[in-house]
Structure 1
Amino acid sequence: MHLSSPKASRRWPVCFLWFALTAPTCASDWPQFLGPARNGAYPGSDLADSWPKDGPPVLWKKKIGQGFSGPAVSSGKLILFHRLDDKETVESLDANNGKSFWSFDYPTGYRDDFGFDEGPRATPTISEGKVFTFGAEGVLHCLDLSTGKKIWSANVKSRFEAAKGFFGMACSPLIEGNAVLLNIGGANGAGVVAFDKANGRLLWKATEDEASYSSPVAATLDGRRYAFFFTRRGLVALDPSSGKVFFDFPWRPRIQASVSAAAPLVIDDLIFLSASYQTGAVLLRVKDNQVEKIWSNDDSLSNHYATSVYHDGFLYGFDGRQESGPSLRCVELKTGKVRWSEDRFGAGTVTLAGHTLLVLRENGELMLAPASPDGFKPAARAQVLPNGARAYPAVADGHIYARSKDALVCVDLRKPK
């Protein structure tokens, strides 16, 4: 393991393209996978509804290492998790300019069996002055946000016999109270585990489910707090404080060589689940600590990797497998009816910002469009990254932070002053 000073960690230069930004506020942080509410929505109201002809200003960019891990941003600090040579590396950057505050790394021997990227998959989580990262080989770290000093670590592969899966381990840590929750697919009842976030002590373990590539979410329904995991077998709802399983709902791909990666999406008392591989989407209602199916099909919105977003009665997301050129769609939540479909659109991610969709395509194009069931009508578009933008971006303080295979960029999306 290695902890370096800011000077030592500047292995690659930062290219400054603009003057310093305003320091991010806590209200506009993006501290974890899918944002502050873990639903893909940016809560700020400071984004412009159109861009200059030559695109929004690129404030800085930085060459980075391998990985599908998205950035996390809190209180002006951006946490980048990537692979440099044979080390998984956590870096704290100044969100204003990309300069490095600190860097922490440790050895990795991960090799991808299918020849894909060999960097970390899971997005870091920032909580109460700590950073939590989960590497492709199953090493969970808790670091001090200010200094990068290691507080504790846990290896779930060796401790719980967690399997590598098709593409390594990829669960973005969920913080609930004093617990760090992970979907790991370990043996002997360790499908889901919880660690004390202060010291790494195991709090509980639950289920025999294999791990998926989906990350958990938490929500309160009917006064009860739930943690929802979309495991390889289906939905599991449990008590985040004890690991007690309240209910489950089998929903898995129909072939073994498959990946379920979209997170559960909770809207009031409804849960939307989606997978590819001839399975499709299902809408569930939670009532009296039980679950009932509202609708399901494989024709509406079969998510592969990217999680859909919800706005005013409609879902917006990708239908179809990533490698097959998925469609971008709008689907009515209550019925599953497709309102519009941009066929063969290509893969990407969708972030909701007020009444607007921010669509980052895998080819590096960023698009701005109203979230409307009347059609997909982009108001602006700009090429912000080279091809290979598969990680989820972060939107914080009016800026989008996005990465491709080897580049991290900060783009100013704020309204003109």
Structure 2
Amino acid sequence: MKNTLSAGKSAFLAVLLLCVCGLSFAADWPHWRGPDYNGISHESEWSPEKIKEDAAPLWKANIGTGFSTISVSRGKAYTFGNTGSKDIDESEHKDVVFCFDAATGKQIWTYSYPEPLDPKYYEGGTSATPTVSDDRVYTLSKTGDALCLEADTGKLIWQTNILEVTGAENTTWGLAGSPLIVGSMAVYNVGYQATALDKANGKLLWSPSDKPGGYATAVMSKLNGKEQLVNFGFDNVAGLETAYGEIIWTYPWKTRHDVNAADPIITGDRVFISSGYGTGCALLKVEGEKASKLWQNRNMRNKMNPSVLYEGHIYGVDEGGELRCINLETGEIIWAQGGFGMGSLMIADGKLIVLGEKGNLVIAEASADGFKQISGAQILSGSRCWSVPVLANGRIYARNAGGEMVCLDVAADEKDSPAASSAAETTDKPDWPQWRGHNRDGISKETGLMKKWPESGPEIIWSAKGLGKGYSTVSIAEGLIYTTGMIGKRGVLFAFDMDGKLAWKRNYGPEWDRSYESSRSTPTVNDGNVYVISGKGSIACFEAAKGEPLWAKNVFQDFEGEYGNWGIAESPLIVDDKVIVTPGGKKASVVALDKKTGRVIWASKSIDEKSAYCSPILVERGGRKVIITMLESLVGIDASNGEILWKHKHGKKDINPITPVYSDSMVYATSGYDDGGVMVELNDDGSSIKVKWEDETLDTHHGGVVLVDGYIYGSSWRGNSNGNWVCLEWDSGKVMYDHSWIGKGCLTYADGMLYCYEEKEGTVALVKAGPDKFEVVSSFKVTMGEDHHWAHPVICGGRLYIRHGDVLMVYNISEGL
């Protein structure tokens, strides 16, 4: 094995993100096979009926000879082709990477380099599809030139010929697998199994063998709980250990001409493979280091483009020209429809989008009940169409081998949009405008929610990837959903509409890049603006609807704040005309800024304690508004002038991220690391406190607590991830239960139920809220995203919002939907 990482394995493992990374949002299609690498779009706001014979394309372009399909990311469409022809000298043949404005077709930039046309019994030209990830575009030529370009400008960042650096043999028809970005690696189907380059500089990381590879794109997967790459080589399919490409398992799969071109499809512990030249398909079961065959037949023969798995059925175009539906479990043909030649397809909103070899585009139901066409039109001609069509942001992109590319408008008319209909029917918009909801108590007022989920969990409505590293949860106001993430070293504030389409995103400055690097703060929406605090103490204000920056201020620099080990995790609190921030500095402990301008209204005196990751609350006693938060102590501050009214030293440490809970003159605070909790009572005007009771059982780490009907619910720290789930009586601190369930986590409450999200395995549970016992009614595991399961769940508008790493998932939990 060729491996340049032997000396740095342990360091590399420490930073490798075992997931497919890239900046993509809801309806974008940033790489081959789409956001989830499975040929399925999350898009629902589109109209198949717009595909008509007399409908003119939105725009056209000539992109050169080839079979690369289109990638769409952040308003730009990327593809590439070859300018070669029989009429010009071979030395003048070039591959050209194109970047277009996705809406208008205006060419933004191109990048070209010498590359032969190489038409072996077909048109020749490019085969792989560009991959867009982290503001870069990665491409691969048929002769091994791997390029990395700036996505916005087309400027070359690096270029490496993989065949040269690995010594691998090329395939008969040239390299065809698209680049796959996995953490810090760019993975290619080159050599016997795959090759990985450093995505930052193109240097070789690993390459198992110098034998030829296959034509498919490697697939990132999780089989039997182990992250691995599944790669379809020239004579087998294999699972590879992600960091170094070491082979975990293989299954032999020999075809005529050594062509395995269709990506494997992974579901659970099973792998579906299919090849042309009369070979057929098979369903494999992977157990550890062994793969065994469950069934094999010739009912699906994918010669070039892969099938798509949808609701237990495989949809694909067989090399005999038929669009087929087969049962995944048995391999049985359910139905078949001719007329597509060597075509291809994708799926969106339960519909097949099929492009026939002769340029006929057909939209049909993705249903096992039979072929049911919805619409169709001849959109391309003159050259064969082997490239998969792409739906992204209300537009379908397609091309033929000769280089004709068309963009079709299929955006749903506003009057036909489900979102528009919903808005017409109600004036109430879902609202969760800040950390832990309206009252910062983790309580949702939602009703009519499911009291039991399906076995597989609630239906996922949409997901958005590419949020970067972050533990921020979401805020929701005026039809937009806000969250933060860390991309590179910068913090990014995202705003999505209710259908998961990116409305805008803005950089708000450097984020926390030390221990547990990520964004922490949940945005606060108030009076048409949105506020966010970075892990390094900068606070920024943006116009909520469009994201226009209004002001920014670094209160930690201004007031000589001192960071804790994990930066700043506070979410802004709005009090009347003030935004509250806790620098915990030598010059001030808590600061109030004018929410419209950022100027300092007041700065409390310093109590010589660091900011301790806590987001404050506001209470009112005897006409006095009191800000309550935790530095190293539990502190009460007069909201009008910043006067420190009282403080209570709780626990032995300076790690106090739990937002206090208030009810009827009483304040409960808790901390992890064995510190436990304390209940204090405010006097009539909030100017002093007395301790009512203390408890050692519920020492919540950072998962929050909720108060429901006189009982406090949360999870304890106990050896970190092994904590229990606890219920305390509010009045007395009496332990009602102390229950072991997987591990500690975070929670919220709605409609009689606790929504508990444990951090060890990522299980979300629906638990009855009651002091008698911890009773899990339903549960499911979060499978998307990476890193710690630390972001708190949110329930708003009949939906459950779960943030895990760079992915936001939205589930339908309404009883009536």
TM range (shorter): 0.7 to 0.9
Kindly report which structure 2 residues correspond to 1:325-340, keeping only aligned pairs within 5 A, or say none.
325-340=320-335
1:184 aligns with 2:184: no
Superposed CA offset, 1:281-311 (max 9, x none)? 110122335322211112x111111210111
Find out whether 1:259 has 2:255 as its counterpart.
no
Work out the CA distance in 1 between the residues paired with 2:116 and 2:357. 27
Q: 2:407 aligns with which of 388, 407, 410?
A: 410
How many Å apart are 1:279 and its aligned residue?
2.3
1:113 corresponds to which residue? 120
Inter-partner Cα distance in structure 2 for 1:36 and 1:58: 25
Q: Which residue in 1 is equivalent to 2:30?
A: 31
C-alpha distance 241-149 of structure 1, shift in aligned 2 (>3 A): same
Provide Cα deviations, 1:182-241, integer angstroms capped at 9, x if missing partner: 1112xxxx6521001001111111146531211111112333111110001111100222
Q: Where in structure 2 are the equivalents of 1:127-166 lying within 5 Å?
A: 127-166=133-172
| 1:383 matches 2:378 | yes
- Deviation per CA, 1:283-342: give whole Å up to 9, x if none: 0122335322211112x111111210111111111223xxxx422111000000111112
Identify which range, 374-383 or 41-50, moves more after superposition. 41-50
1:355 equivalent in structure 2: 350
Deviation (angstroms), 1:48: 1.8
Equivalences for residues 200-219 of structure 1 within 5 A = 200-207=202-209, 209-219=211-221
1:351-401 Cα shifts (integer Å, max 9, x gaps)? 111211001111111101001112112111011111422112222112111
Give the corresponding residue for 2:101.
Answer: 94
Q: What TM-score results when the alignment is normalised by the length of structure 2?
A: 0.45
Whether the aligned pair in 2 keeps the contact of 1:191 and 1:208 (CA below 8 Å) is: no
Partner of 2:68: 69
Corresponding position: 1:104 with 2:111: yes
The answer to which of 151-160 and 37-46 deviates more is 151-160
Shift of 1:44: 1.1
Q: Which residue of 2 aligns with 1:372?
A: 367
CA RMSD across the alignment: 1.9
Residue 156 of structure 1 deviates from its aligned partner by: 1.9
State the partner residue of 2:390.
394
> Partner amino acid for 1:129?
D
Report the AA paired with residue 178 of structure 1. S
| In structure 1, distance between residues paired with 2:233 and 2:253 | 9
Residues 105-154 of structure 1: CA deviation (Å, up to 9, x unaligned):
1112342333x223111001000011000011110001111111111111
Amino acid at match of 2:67: F
Partner of 2:128: 122
CA distance in 2, matches of 1:291, 1:165: 25
Is the CA contact (8 Å cut-off) linking 1:258 and 1:277 kept in structure 2? no
Give CA-to-partner distance per residue, 1:23-43, whole Å, 9 cap, x none. Answer: xx8321111111111111111
The 1:220/1:392 distance shift into structure 2, 3 A limit, reads same
Deviation at 1:49, TM superposition (A): 4.3
Q: Residue type matched to 2:144 in 1?
A: G
Count residues with an aligned counterpart.
382
Alpha-carbon distance between aligned partners in 2 of 1:377 and 1:293, rounded to the nearest angstrom:
32
Q: What code does the residue aligned with 1:75 have? A: R
Higher mean C-alpha deviation, range 395-404 or range 123-132: 395-404
Aligned partners of 1:45, 1:67: CA distance in 2, in Å? 30
Q: Which residue pairs with 1:226 in the alignment?
A: 228
Q: CA separation in 2, counterparts of 1:131 and 1:380? A: 34
Q: Residues of 1 paired with 2:64 and 2:209: CA distance?
A: 35
Q: Deviations over 1:46-69 (max 9, x none)?
A: 122433654555211112211111
CA distance in 2, matches of 1:364, 1:235: 32
Q: 1:167 aligns with which of 146, 164, 173?
A: 173
* Separation (CA, whole Å) in 2 of partners of 1:44 and 1:93: 21
- AA aligned to 2:322 is S
The verdict on how the C-alpha distance between 1:45 and 1:157 changes in structure 2, with shifts beyond 3 A counting, is: same
Higher relative contact order (CA closer than 8 Å, sequence separation 6+) = 1
- Determine the structure 1 residue equivalent to 2:695: none
CA distance in 2, matches of 1:345, 1:37: 25
Q: Which moved more, 1:51-60 or 1:122-131?
A: 51-60
Contact 2:31–2:130 under 8 Å retained in 1: yes
Cα distance in 1 for partners of 2:37, 2:405 equals: 22
Paired with 2:185 and 2:51, the residues of 1 have a C-alpha distance of 45
2:265 & 2:324 partners in 1: Cα distance?
Answer: 16
Which runs of no fewer than 5 residues in structure 2 stay unpaired?
Answer: 1-23, 85-92, 415-817
Q: Report the AA paired with residue 242 of structure 1.
A: Y
Asked whether the equivalents of residues 219 and 225 of structure 1 are also in contact (C-alpha less than 8 Å), the reply is: yes
Contact 1:209/1:233 (CA < 8 Å) preserved in 2?
Answer: no
Mean Cα displacement is larger for which, 208-217 or 165-174? 208-217
* d(CA) in 1 for partners of 2:339, 2:396: 25
Matched, 1:287 2:284: no
Alignment partners' CA distance in 1, 2:62 and 2:106: 12
- Render the CA deviation track for 1:66-86: whole Å, top value 9, x for unaligned: 111111110011112111241
CA contact (8 A) 1:252 1:275 kept: no
Give, as a single letter, the amino acid of the residue that structure 1 aligns with 2:344: T
The Cα of 1:172 is off from its aligned counterpart by: 0.6
Please tell me the residue identity of whatever aligns with 1:118. G
By how many angstroms is 1:99 displaced?
Answer: 0.9
Higher alpha-carbon deviation: 157-166 or 310-319: 157-166
TM-score by length of 1: 0.87
| CA distance, structure 1, for counterparts of residue 82 and residue 210 of structure 2 | 31
Q: Does 1:196 align with 2:194?
A: no
- Tell which deviates more after alignment, 215-224 or 140-149: 215-224
Report the residue type matching 1:210 in the other structure. P
Report if aligned partners of 1:239, 1:245 keep a CA contact under 8 Å in 2: yes
The answer to whether the 8 A contact 1:110-1:137 is kept is no
Evaluate the alpha carbon distance shift between residue 34 and residue 306 of structure 1 in structure 2; reply closer, same or farther with a 3 A threshold. Answer: same
Corresponding residue for residue 484 of structure 2:
none
For residue 50 of structure 1, give the secondary structure of its aligned residue in structure 2: helix
- Give the corresponding residue for 1:297: 297
SS of the residue aligned with 1:159?
A: helix
The 2-side partners of 1:360 and 1:125 are apart by: 21
CA separation in 1, counterparts of 2:111 and 2:336? 44
Q: Residue 210 of structure 1 contacts residue 233 of structure 1 at CA under 8 Å; is this kept in 2? A: no
CA distance in 1, matches of 2:347, 2:207: 34
- Cα distance 1:158–1:242, how it changes in 2: closer, same or farther (>3 A)? closer
Q: Runs of 4+ in structure 1 displaced over 6 angstroms?
A: none
1:344 to 1:96, Cα distance in 2 relative to 1, 3 A: closer
Identity %: 36
